Amino acid sequence: MSTLSKSPVRVAREALATGQNTLRMYAHRFSPHRFTQPQLFACLVLKTFFKVDYRGLVTLLEDHSELRHVLGLKKVPHFTTLQKASKRLLQVARAQRLFADTIKRFFRRRRRRRVKLAAFDSTGLECGHRSIYYIRRRNGAKKRWQTVGYSRYAKLEIATECRSHLLLGVLVGRGPRVDVDRFVPLMDATLNHVELDAALADAGYDSEPNHRYARLSRGVRSYIPATAGRPTSKPPRGHYRRQMKYHLDKNYGHYGQRWQVETAFSMLKRRLAISVNGHSYWSQCRDLLLLAITYNLMLLYAAGAFLRSRTRTVL
């Protein structure tokens, strides 16, 4: 079930359906009405799917008549039209609604909206396409002192369902920065879409206030290794951190499922992108949100095909 669709036609259909559920047909009643907003959104999804720029996407649409037929395009939009549509359609609030629709459609097919286990984590994506090999070679004799090849990067924070690897919540920003103060926003973003039983996170989110917020305020069991702070033989401060220290590996065996979020990152980076092309902060945020939406759309069709195959087998 954790398979991303590799068919551009199927992904285009899913993207068009999501756009029709979420977006108005046209941005303004006096607009030229040459292309609908769902059509332009589906084109942006295909741009991420094919790993091309706006000009490359225009060329692909000109060469593939089946894609134009699926999207209902009588003519191919100019690359500047797509670039302006990206700024308009991928604003954070609107992109979050598009992302939420992918989750609703996924759980409607599975007939349940409650998630037992979700794993939280963050990852970084390169800004641009510079060569790490070139950076190390250019450093010359001092390369033994060079531990990283970046000063800042685009940061993607996700909550993923451990069973299907569907993204349930997503936050975008810029790193490097600590994760401990990002647990609460990511928890809120996830609970806006689904009901959650347990949240699994690594030691970067370890703090007693995070446990209290999840367990007492939101009713979610949180499991985080209590390793923050200096090494000591004394028990950790805080009721929940002390429980994590002595009982996490013994009584909470399902914490081993936290590695599923690493699988989701691997799927996203191998199939879609390891870097973002945007130069400004907000353009990088738009790229990250489009990555998350495209990932869910690719997973959405694969999950539907899995359920359809199971139904045919039972019948």
Q: Give the model's confidence band at 140: pLDDT under 50 very low, under 70 low, under 90 confident, else very high.
A: low
Question: Comparing C-alpha atoms, which of 164, 157, 163 is closest to residue 301?
Answer: 164
What is the structure's pLDDT at 289?
96
Judged against a pLDDT cut of 50, whether residue 280 lies above it is answered with yes
**Counting beta carbons within 10 angstroms of the beta carbon of residue 68, is it exposed (0 to 12), middle (13 to 18) or buried (19 or more)?**
middle
Q: What value does the mean pLDDT take over residues 54-63?
A: 95
DSSP state of 140: G
Question: Comparing C-alpha atoms, which of 282, 266, 281, 270 is closest to residue 152?
Answer: 281
Beta-carbon contacts of 304 under 8 Å, excluding residues fewer than 6 positions away, are 109
C-alpha 287/C-alpha 280 separation (Å) is 11
C-alpha 67/C-alpha 73 separation (Å) is 9
Beta-carbon contacts of 305 under 8 Å, excluding residues fewer than 6 positions away, are 5
CATH architecture of 112-308: 2-Layer Sandwich (3.30)
User: Residue written as tokens 């390369």?
Assistant: 143
What are the boundaries of each domain within the chain?
8-89, 112-308
For a pLDDT cut of 70, what percent of the chain falls above it? 85
Of the listed ranges 48-57, 161-170, 232-241, 303-312, the least confidently predicted one is 303-312
Q: What value does the mean pLDDT take over residues 212-221?
A: 95
Provide the whole-model pTM. Answer: 0.88
Higher pLDDT, 166 or 31: 166
